[in-house]
């Protein structure tokens, strides 16, 4: 897993936050419970709301990420709003060349759940897992099909967990 800090310029980060906020009052959202496979919904009682990033911001995001990403033919950028009790079970993003998460929250409380946890491939026999708490403008890049999950977001959080999910496809 690669962790890259300050992945987006401050200007682009703010534009993404603004666009996400504007989308809250539109009917452009899909629910993870309708199209995620059952294996990644195991023991998850919540849902993520998902909508595409606008074409304009998609192009800007792609330009700023390009030097960090493996080769791909198609890039998908989506906003995810992780509602209370949402998370994702252990998986390896096998249907994509790579997957990445960019954290959009200004700050995140460790007690709010939503931890990103992955199996350490450098020492696979030890069974060590690593984790990262969502942190503003950090990207976690899974370009080696590492097994990972997101712990359930706690109920009663003051703010939902906001991310941009980036997928590279052939």
Q: What is the pLDDT of residues 17-36, one digit of tens each?
A: 999 999 999 999 999 988 88
pLDDT less than 50: residues of the chain: none
Cα–Cα distance, 127 to 147 (Å, whole number): 12
Cα–Cα distance, 123 to 63 (Å, whole number): 34
Tell the residue number behind the tokens 């997101």, with chain if given: 150
Q: Give pLDDT, residue 164.
A: 98
Q: Give pLDDT, residue 7.
A: 98
CA dist list (Å): 48 to 3, 30, 45, 55, 79: 23, 8, 10, 21, 10
Q: Give pLDDT, residue 28.
A: 95
User: Is residue 71 within 8 Å of residue 29, measured between CB atoms?
Assistant: no
Q: Give pLDDT, residue 44.
A: 75
Q: Give pLDDT, residue 88.
A: 93
């Amino acid at each position: 897993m690669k962790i890259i800090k300050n992945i987006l310029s401050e200007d682009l980060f703010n534009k993404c936050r603004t666009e996400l906020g504007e989308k809250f009052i539109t009917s452009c959202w899909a629910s993870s419970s309708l199209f995620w496979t059952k294996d990644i919904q195991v023991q998850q009682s919540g849902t993520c709301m998902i909508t595409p990033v606008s074409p304009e911001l998609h192009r800007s995001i792609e330009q700023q990420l390009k030097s960090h990403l493996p080769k791909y033919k198609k890039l998908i950028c989506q906003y995810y709003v992780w509602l209370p009790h949402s998370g994702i079970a252990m998986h390896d993003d096998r249907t994509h060349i790579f997957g990445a998460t960019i954290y959009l929250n200004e700050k995140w409380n460790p007690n709010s759940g939503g931890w990103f946890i992955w199996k350490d491939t450098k020492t696979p026999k030890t069974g060590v897992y690593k984790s990262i708490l969502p942190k503003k403008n950090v990207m976690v890049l899974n370009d080696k099909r590492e097994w990972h999950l997101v712990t359930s977001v706690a109920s009663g959080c003051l703010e939902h967990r906001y991310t941009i999910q980036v997928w590279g496809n052939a």
